[in-house]
Structure 1
Amino acid sequence: MVLKLYAVSSAIGGSGIVAMVLLEKKIPFELVAVDLTKREHKTPEYLALHPFGRVPMIDDDGFILYESRAICRYLAEKYPDQGTRLIPIDARAKARFEQGASIELAEFFPQIAKVGRQLVFNPRQGVPTDEAVLAEGQVALAKKLAEYEVILGKQKYMGGDEFTLTDIFHLYAAPMVIKAGFDVITGTGPNVKRWWNDLVSRPSWTKLQEGIRSVAMY
């Protein structure tokens, strides 16, 4: 049974990073497009599989898994030698990777999510932008990226010298924020710019800009 990816059709949020892992790992999959505008993620049938009623979710031959970072880790560990190795094997390299993943979740994501809430989700829901919260998030994000500049001056990627899931996780929200008008990378140092340009120019990510359905195998 081919893996089924329940996701939105666009390469945004968790749907985008899971689809990127599927491409990097060369895993065939079927897209089951979930239309959020029609609240297909809140139907009784969907909620029976995903109690929080969100995307993405996978069905891997009856094994149901949700939460995008958990899905990404599962795929990387199930197919370690297929496609791009996204989780290192060596103990020190893996520790560096885990360090980077923790930094993304604890330091980067809360700030990019705060900015994204004001620039992306509030407008969609007809909620006015809180300019004070937006400014606070932008300042905090700039501070985090200044710290990234130091880290990336010592290693090529956020998880070490090899491209890993840690880097993919950073594509969860930042592209949406940039598209909404706040260029996260403007004003950063050369190391951050080099790293970011590397991420968004990867063939897997550029292919996904045409939509997840365009790269699904079935």
Structure 2
Amino acid sequence: MVLTLYGHPRSTCAQRVAVTLHEKGVPFKFVLVDLVKGEHKHSSYLEEQPFGQFHTSNGFILYERRAIAHYLAEKYADQGTPLIPKDLKAKALFEQAASIEAFNYDPYASHAVFNKIFELE
């Protein structure tokens, strides 16, 4: 079964999910959504994702890049690279680090990357 990932190849959000799929050895097709043209704000996307972001789709609609990555890491835990620890304490430390990254570093880094990359187009 091939999953579908919607996004822009330069989007750090789409890249996070793509890296997770690659590390888990999960086949997927990439559907380009042009951010510059505002395709992610089209009504067909907003029906499934009210924030105008992207989702993976294969009968199960899930949005928000970290939720998608965690879902894939758990669903395909027995294949590819182990991404989330199984030990309770190790998993708690993993979640702690993920929260620090999400709330302290990512907003600034993503903003800087977005501005730098999309000013090229």
TM-score range, shorter chain: 0.7 to 0.9
Deviation for aligned residue 1:112: 2.7
Distance 2:99 2:8 in 1: 26
**Residue in 1 that maps onto 2:55:** 57
Could you tell me which of 56, 61, 70 is aligned with 1:73?
70
Distance 1:111 1:51 in 2: 23
User: Deviation above 6 Å: which 4+ runs of structure 1?
Assistant: none
Distance 1:110 1:9 in 2: 19
Letter in 2 for 1:2: V
CA distance 1:113–1:7, shift in 2 (3 Å): closer
**Residue in 2 that maps onto 1:15:** 14
Q: Which has the larger radius of gyration?
A: 1
| 1:60-88 deviation per Cα after TM superposition (whole angstroms, max 9, x unaligned) | 2x101111011000000101011001000
**Residue in 1 that maps onto 2:2:** 2
RMSD: 2.2
Could you list the runs of 5+ residues in structure 2 that have no partner in the other structure? none
**Residue in 2 that maps onto 1:28:** 27
Which of the pair is proportionally richer in strand? Answer: 2
Which of the pair is proportionally richer in helix? Answer: 1
Distance 2:13 2:110 in 1: 13
TM-score by length of structure 1 reads: 0.50
| Count of aligned residue pairs for this structure pair | 119
Could you tell me which of 87, 96, 101 is aligned with 1:99?
96
Distance 2:30 2:110 in 1: 26
Other structure's SS at 1:96 match: helix
Distance 1:111 1:35 in 2: 22
Deviation for aligned residue 1:39: 2.1
Distance 1:15 1:38 in 2: 17
Deviation for aligned residue 1:113: 4.5
Other structure's SS at 2:20 match: helix
TM-score by length of structure 2 reads: 0.86
Could you tell me which of 102, 120, 129 is aligned with 2:115?
120
